Structure 1
Amino acid sequence: MVDFPQHNVGAKFKGKRVGYFRETAGYERYKSAYVEGFGGLPAVRQSVDIPTAFGVVRAYRFGEGDATPLVLLPGRQASTPMWAANLPSLIGVRPVITLDLLGEPGASVQSEPLTDAADQAAWLAAALRVLESRPVHVLGASIGGWSAVNLAVRHPERVASVAILDSPFVFGGVTWKMITVSLGSVLPGMPDKWRNRLLGWISGGVQAPADLPEGRLIASGMRDFAAFLPMTDQPAKDKLAAISVPFLGIFGGRSIVHRAKRIAKRARKLMPAAQIEVWPAASHAVNGEFPEEIAARMLQFLDEAETAKGA
């Protein structure tokens, strides 16, 4: 069984501007969902808590081998169990490290405010320094993709390649539909039935969140956790253009987060060397919809990245 830490719980943390669970019942509900979701993951090779200037970051290692690891960064209100569909196939590609984002619900515990994008990159770079002396490959879903790009912009020495899955705030903002869903899903007192419908809209209606442990985890995070994160800023065009490592961007043709074709066109203009793809059948929940296809695409992408590095 995974060890879930004693977290920030109760209104006494509100004034500290750090993420916290609103009440003990919510903390216990989330903890139960996390442990349940984790039980469906492959065997963990190592679990480690890394102290940083902004809090303690929880990381897990999966898989064997000495290849450069692939680091997975989850989306907003998510954590390591969201990768349940992906880990079995990805650990066949290379060793995998997952991190729970600091300031989000999960097993990482924030202790100091995150005031800007520089702070968000700083804690991630500090954690990766402890985990790996070499640059790592980073794959981020949704806001995790923004975190990966933010890291590449501010700490390029930590990154060997970047791949993002339907990530907002990298090449553009979000649609009014996504804003509506995001605001509605975190309203206090929102009935779980309505919240699940909103989350189902994000995931293209493939499966109601309550049907899956990771869905219940995200729903609990939205209901029970209060985050105090800085405004997510889109990286400057010149900063994106300056990213020199191999870059893969996959966007869902059915995503409500943005207009995929428009975002892809903008991405190709800003980063001509990047590999930018629109998967027509995918929604924002592309990682859960196409796990085998993502693993195959990542195998190809990482092989190309490491071949180019050795050339």
Structure 2
Amino acid sequence: MSGIVRPNIGAEFRRQRLGHFRDAQAYARYRRIYDRAMTGLPAPDAIQDVPTGFGTVRVHRFGTDGADARTPLLLLPGRTASTPMWAPNLTGLRASGRVVYAIDLLGEPGLSVQSRPFASAADHGVWLAELLTGLRLDRTHLLGVSIGGWTAFRLAMHAPDKVASLNLLDPACLFGRITWKAVAVSLGAFGPLPEPWRRRLLSWISGGADISGDEPVAALISAGMRDFTAFLPPPTYPADEEVAAVGVPTLAVIAGRSIIHHPARAAERARRLLAQGVVELWPDASHSLNGEFPERVATRVLAFIERLDADDALRH
């Protein structure tokens, strides 16, 4: 267990433009919900708070360092979701014995603590590279959903040598531009709306998924939206030449029922531009595909990264 890192709480962090919880009561409420949601995951083998130039990142490690020579897998959650969102996926992803790391994104609701404001979207690639250095990981497979997929791609743009592969589940603002529907959900979810309305909007973006108060991850996302203030630069939509310049092996899964972009157009752009891309359009999936199809996600991702590891071993 790492040492205690004080969360950002109160108006002083608003003036510094750092992500923070509104007050002590808001943090205590969020932390209770976070801890409850974490009980849905396997017990982590280690918990670390890793310093970077933009703040301290909460990392949960599943598996024992040194016990598996294969390249580890790092999980990046969607916006406001944090580590507990991987509850449906971790058992499947750990089935082969590979070490898996899960993190809370800097500047988002969770247990990572931002200490320096972001100047631009490019800073997300910088802090993530610093995190991998702090974890002493030379190369890592990355699995990101939604904005987590976008963040993973920023790392590949900034430090491709650190990325063994990208596994992107309906990444936001990467292969397709954000739609007006997603903007409406975002504005409504973060605005001063009654809780039932906020949950209805969240259900809309997740294709009608259960967002009742009894569902721990949905409750956590809602609490983060209510109790946490973020100062994040808008995710920059990469130009064609920027996407094409990333030569990292990439599995991109586009959800056919997603409302964050036009799925068919996003899939077409990914196929056209990714230098080493495998692009799949899952017509029956919504933006919440990691929760809808956990076994399918684990099977597909593990098949992709294990083939890459085998090819790499043959080359060496």
Conserved 8 A contact 2:247-2:274: no
Amino acid across the alignment from 1:214: V
Counterpart CA distance in 2 for 1:103 and 1:168 is 17
CA distance in structure 2 between the aligned counterparts of 1:26 and 1:233, rounded to whole angstroms: 30
1:34 aligns with 2:34: yes
Unaligned runs of 5+ in 1: none
1:1-311 aligned within 5 A: 5-64=5-64, 65-66=67-68, 67-93=70-96, 94-188=98-192, 190-271=193-274, 273-309=276-312, 310-311=314-315
Q: How many residues are treated as equivalent by the alignment? A: 310
SS at the partner of 2:122? helix
TM-score, normalised with respect to structure 1: 0.96
Hey, what's the Cα distance between the residues in 1 that align with 2:241 and 2:81?
30
For the 8 Å contact 1:150–1:235, the answer to whether it is kept is no
Secondary structure of the residue aligned to 2:168 is strand
Taking a change above 3 Å as real, the CA distance of residues 282 and 223 of structure 1, as seen in their structure-2 partners, is same
Q: Matched residues in 2 for 1:194 and 1:5: separation?
A: 34
- What amino acid sits opposite 1:15 in the alignment? R
> In structure 2, how many angstroms separate the alpha carbons of the residues matched to 1:304 and 1:160?
12
Moved more, 236-245 or 85-94: 236-245
Give the SS at the match of 2:45: strand
Q: Which runs of 4+ in 1 moved over 6 A?
A: 1-4
1:246 and 1:74 map into 2 onto residues whose CA distance is 20
For structure 1, which segment, 241-250 or 99-108, has the greater mean C-alpha deviation from structure 2 after superposition?
A: 241-250
Report the Cα offset of residue 272 of structure 1: 5.1
- Once the 2 structures are TM-superposed, how far is the Cα of residue 211 of structure 1 from its aligned partner? 3.1
Alpha-carbon contact 1:68-1:136 (below 8 Å) kept: yes
Conserved 8 A contact 2:3-2:49: no
**TM superposition shift of 1:28:** 1.2
Q: Secondary structure at the match of 1:44?
A: coil
Once residues 278 and 4 of structure 2 are traced to their aligned partners in structure 1, the CA distance between those partners, rounded to angstroms, is 38
**Once the 2 structures are TM-superposed, how far is the Cα of residue 59 of structure 1 from its aligned partner?**
0.6
Q: Distance in 2 between matches of 1:106 and 1:284?
A: 21
Percent of paired sites with the same residue? 49
